[in-house]
Amino acid sequence: MFARGATPFFSNGRAVNVLTDINANNETLFTSGVDVVAGQLILRKDEFFASPAQAVAVADRYPQNVFAEHTHEFCELVLVWRGNGLHVLNDRPWRITRGDLFYIRAEDKHSYASVNDLVLQNVIYCPDRLRLNFDWAAHIPGLFGTPWVPHWRIGSSGMAQVRQVITQLEHESSRSDAQANNMAELLFAQLALILQRYRYATDNLAATQSEALLDKLLTELAGSLNRPFFLDRFCEREGCSERALRQQFRQQTGMTINHYLRQLRICHAQYLLQHTERLIGEVAMQCGFEDSNYFSVVFNREIGMTPGQWRQRSRTAA
């Protein structure tokens, strides 16, 4: 059973003509606005950029729906403002929420699933069209063959500045006057600098000392994949109310703290099962589960198959 519609993707202030089918599993299937090459969906430049000279644009997803695996003819920065979802990048699952930042190269394949009020923005750009005399590769991981670290976090202080620049960039990229492209590139360079200044590794707790309480908690959770996390101790250390923090976390992410941590651990387990030869019991320990039987029960409940079945299926698919 399919429902025909248009995916709500806005670029340059206009709705992009990407027609879709929605199947019975609520998965987005593309019927126009993309090319399919060797079974892979490819988002085209001419559907997302106003002209062949435009180098940068902003594509909003309010909210982000389930989105089938695809690649692009362009690169993108992905910034998550609120909610949560599963972002699968090059076959690696990431549970994403407020403050997550990704640097996506054109050749990368990714998809979105299990979304819950997921609000994000994509800043899309064509490296070959950039004309500004700026060292782009020094500020954007993975660009022009530089070392690529795709996943970072950005705290509340950085997010406020980023949002302001993206708003200006969105305005300029929707204009058609002679100065618009140059202004957009200047703003994109400013955005790249701000992100470089404020981004930090997802588990780098030291980088969050001057950030908001929620940023500290998210980073603490990311660093607790293989060890117990005690919310009461965290709140005592930070001098905050456990009840208030639980409420704030749910408002911003759409999940409870325990659910989020469990999702982080399951995503990490999926990665280890696919890419290492560790025994299932060892994977369980590495993901914070002392009992491998309990790990298997939780994994089966969340993923719909046992860890062994997942390992076999993921490797066969790859």
What is the domain partition of the chain in residue ranges? 3-200, 203-318
pLDDT bracket for residue 205 (50, 70, 90): confident
Q: Is the pTM of this model over 0.75?
A: yes
Q: Is the pLDDT of residue 59 over 60?
A: yes
Give the C-alpha separation, 25 to 22, whole Å. Answer: 8
Proportion of the chain above pLDDT 90, given as a percent: 75
Give the C-alpha separation, 13 to 125, whole Å. Answer: 16
Q: Kindly state the tokens that stand for 220.
A: 């603490």
pLDDT bracket for residue 40 (50, 70, 90): confident
Give the C-alpha separation, 61 to 15, whole Å. Answer: 11
The sign of the dihedral angle between the CA atoms of 305, 220, 105, 142 is negative
CA distances 179 to 172, 182, 198, Å, are 9, 6, 29
The answer to whether 169 touches 187, Cβ cutoff 8 Å, is yes
pLDDT bracket for residue 24 (50, 70, 90): very low
Q: Once rounded to an integer, what is the mean pLDDT over residues 101-129?
A: 94
pLDDT digits (tens, 9 = 90+) for 282-302: 999 999 999 999 999 999 999
Q: Once rounded to an integer, what is the mean pLDDT over residues 73-96?
A: 95
Q: Once rounded to an integer, what is the mean pLDDT over residues 104-120?
A: 93
Give the closest residue to 70 by CA, choosing from 98, 47, 97, 96.
47
Give the closest residue to 14 by CA, choosing from 53, 40, 49, 41.
49
What is residue 35's predicted lDDT score, i.e. its pLDDT?
A: 64
> Looking at domain 3-200, does it have CATH number 2.60.120.280?
yes
pLDDT digits (tens, 9 = 90+) for 227-246: 999 999 999 999 999 999 99
What is residue 315's predicted lDDT score, i.e. its pLDDT?
A: 85
Q: What architecture (CATH level 2) is domain 203-318? A: Orthogonal Bundle (1.10)
